[in-house]
Amino acid sequence: MTDRAAVLTGLGVNVPPHVLTNDDLAERMDTSDEWIRARTGIRERRVADDDTATADLAVEAGLRALKSAGGTGVDAVIVATTTPDRICPSTAPEVASRLDQTGVMAFDIGAVCSGFVYGLAAGAGLIAAGTVDRVLVIGAEVMFRFMAPADRSTAVIFGDGAGAVVLRAGRSDELGAFGPFDLGADGGGSDLIRVDAGGSRLPASRDGIPADAHFLHMDGREVYRHAVARMVASSRTVLERVGWTVDDVDRLVAHQANSRIIDAVGDRLGLPAAKRFLNVDRYGNTSAASIPLALADAGLSPGDRVLLSAFGGGLTWGSTVLTWPDITVG
Ligand code: COA
């Protein structure tokens, strides 16, 4: 087998400027800053204005990632998102063209909060197969727009943002090379995080849809239980595949679902708190955007061994590892 790995060569992020604090939410619904912080670790989140769609956040993150990678083009654009601009067409072709990448393959990945890791795996697979040399993988979300205004069990959790990476073909022993991937899904839990209306089962129609069916619904307690179990098992699988012990990991950069999930995963893996990165306090759960947003903030140094792990609706999950390269975040 040829040694053709996907190497991280650029990273860029973009969040909308508007900050919505827990106190702001407490003015709209029966909740409190204290409850939200204690249960989730979230203090505030960013919320896109009404004129901003997922592609708009994605384009700016993509531009910054391309600049971070040296400004050259790519052969594929993958957009991981739970909140595409439209049901049809997918969001990636528009994003690619707005980034002056018209003509390259462009497609969306829908794996909810695991979407970014799924997107990385798809990009790495295209590179390993020799199909492409450079891939832009973007995670972008306008989640808050899908929160029912009166649903305190979801509105306090999710936020908006985008992050992007450029992958290039390289060797597996280079800094920045992504290691093995572990991905999985369990459709038996598909009702646990869901938006019912707008798809083929319950189309938006002239007759309208049941109240709130176009908003996100979540069984938080069940999701919590599955998330911890799956992220722990998936993390152990990739560590075993790459031949690292838990002690070899310098940083766990997990999907920022909430601080309690990340701490439970860290505890079960035996990874000390100082090695678990958290920025969920500032952004909330930005679904497919959370891992690149966390990578940008984690203060990683070249050579740091990083474990990525995600869990999301579907149910879906995924993990991978990389050794941090010498890049400047855009
Ligand atoms: N503010 C105040 N009270 C709230 C509240 C809020 N925002 N949301 C729920 N409550 C109340 C409930 O009504 C309930 O009240 P009751 O005991 O009088 O019935 C009580 O708090 C406990 O609710 P529960 O849903 O059991 O809370 P929890 O401890 O499970 O915490 C979550 C709720 C959502 C924070 C938690 O389940 C969680 O983190 N789940 C994972 C969610 C997630 O990360 N999803 C994305 C994964 S990718």
Indicate whether residue 287 lines ligand 1 (CB < 6 A). no
> CA-to-CA distance for 146 and 135, rounded, in angstroms?
29
Identify whether 98 is part of a domain. Answer: yes
Residue 189: per-residue pLDDT: 98
Quick one: pLDDT at residue 204? 87
Q: Are residues 135 and 237 in the same domain?
A: no
The whole-number pLDDT of residue 3 equals 86
Collect all residues with Cβ–Cβ distance below 8 Å to 242 and sequence separation of at least 6. 179, 180, 321
Looking at the structure, tell me whether residues 142 and 185 fall in a common domain. no
12/135 same-domain check: yes
pLDDT (tens digit per residue) in 36-95: 999 999 999 999 999 999 999 999 999 999 999 998 899 999 999 999 999 999 999 999
Whether residue 308 is contained in a domain is answered as yes
Residues 196 and 140 in one domain: no
Residue 150: how many other CB atoms lie within 10 Å = 11
Task: Answer with the one of 132, 151, 170 that is the final residue of a domain.
Answer: 170
* Residue of minimum CA distance from atom 46 in ligand 1: 257
Asked if residue 286 has its Cβ within 6 Å of ligand 1, the reply is: no
Answer whether 146 contacts ligand 1 (Cβ < 6 A).
no
Q: Is the pLDDT of residue 1 over 50?
A: no
Residue 272 lies in a domain: yes
Nearest CA to ligand 1 atom 44: 257
- Overall domain count for the chain: 2
Whether 215 and 130 map to the same domain: the answer is no
- Do 142 and 197 share a domain, yes or no? no
Whole-number pLDDT of residue 2 = 60
Residues 6+ apart with CB under 8 A from 185: 111, 314, 315, 316, 317
106 found inside a domain: yes
Sequence-ordered strand ranges (E) for the chain: 5-14, 19-21, 44-46, 76-80, 105-109, 134-142, 160-170, 178-185, 193-195, 216-218, 251-254, 305-312, 316-323
Whether residues 147 and 235 fall in one domain: no
Please tell me the least confidently modeled range out of 205-214, 230-239, 279-288, 317-326: 205-214
Q: Is the CB of 18 under 6 A from ligand 1?
A: no
The verdict on residue 328 lying in a domain is: no
Catalytic residues: 113, 255, 285
Whether 137 and 117 have beta carbons less than 8 Å apart is answered as no
Average pLDDT of the segment spanning 265-288: 98
Pick the closest to residue 255 from 150, 142, 113, 152 (CA basis). Answer: 113
> What mean pLDDT do residues 231-246 have?
98
Which of 122, 152, 170 is where one domain is finished? 170
**26 and 121 assigned to the same domain:** yes
111-119 average pLDDT score: 98
Angle at 77 between CA 107 and CA 162, to 5 degrees: 95
Ligand 1 contact, 113 CB (< 6 A): yes
Ligand 1 pocket check for 227: Cβ under 6 Å: yes
Q: Does 206 lie in the same domain as 86? A: no
User: Residue type at 187?
Assistant: G
Chain segment 159-217, per-residue pLDDT in tens: 999 999 999 999 999 999 999 999 999 999 999 999 999 999 999 887 788 889 999 99
Domain span at 60: 5-170
Cβ of 312 less than 6 Å from ligand 1 = yes
Instruction: Tell me the sheet residues that pair with 177.
Output: 7
Task: List Cα–Cα distances, 145 to 83, 88, 164, 208, 217, in angstroms.
Answer: 9, 18, 21, 18, 13
Query: Is residue 330 in some structural domain?
Result: no
> Do residue 146 and residue 105 come from a single domain?
yes
Query: Which residue has a Cα nearest atom 30 of ligand 1?
Result: 221
Q: Whose CA is nearest to atom 38 of ligand 1?
A: 220
State pLDDT tens for residues 8-18.
999 999 999 99
- How many whole angstroms from 224 Cα to the centroid of ligand 1? 10
User: Do 137 and 202 share a domain, yes or no?
Assistant: no
> 17 and 130: one domain?
yes
Q: Ligand 1: does its nearest atom lie under 6 Å from the Cβ of 216?
A: no
- Which residues fall within 8 angstroms of residue 129, CB to CB, at 6 or more apart? none
Instruction: For ligand 1, atom 24, name the residue with the nearest CA.
Output: 221
| Cα 228–Cα 192–Cα 153 angle in degrees, nearest 5 | 85
| CATH assignment of the domain containing 112 | 3.40.47.10
Instruction: Read off the pLDDT of each residue in 121-147 and give the average, rounded to a whole number.
Output: 98
The residue contributing the CA closest to ligand 1 atom 36 is 220
pLDDT exceeds cutoff 70 at 141: yes
The rounded Å distance from CA 153 to ligand 1 centre is 6
Q: Is the CB of 35 under 6 A from ligand 1?
A: yes
Q: Over the chain, what is the mean pLDDT?
A: 96
- Which of 39, 260, 286, 315 to mutate to test ligand 1, by most ligand atoms within 8 A of the CB atom? 39
Residue from 43, 147, 221, 309 to probe ligand 1 pocket by mutation (most atoms less than 8 Å from CB): 221
pLDDT digits (tens, 9 = 90+) for 297-329: 999 999 999 999 999 999 999 999 999 999 999
From the CA of 227, give the closest atom in ligand 1. Answer: 47
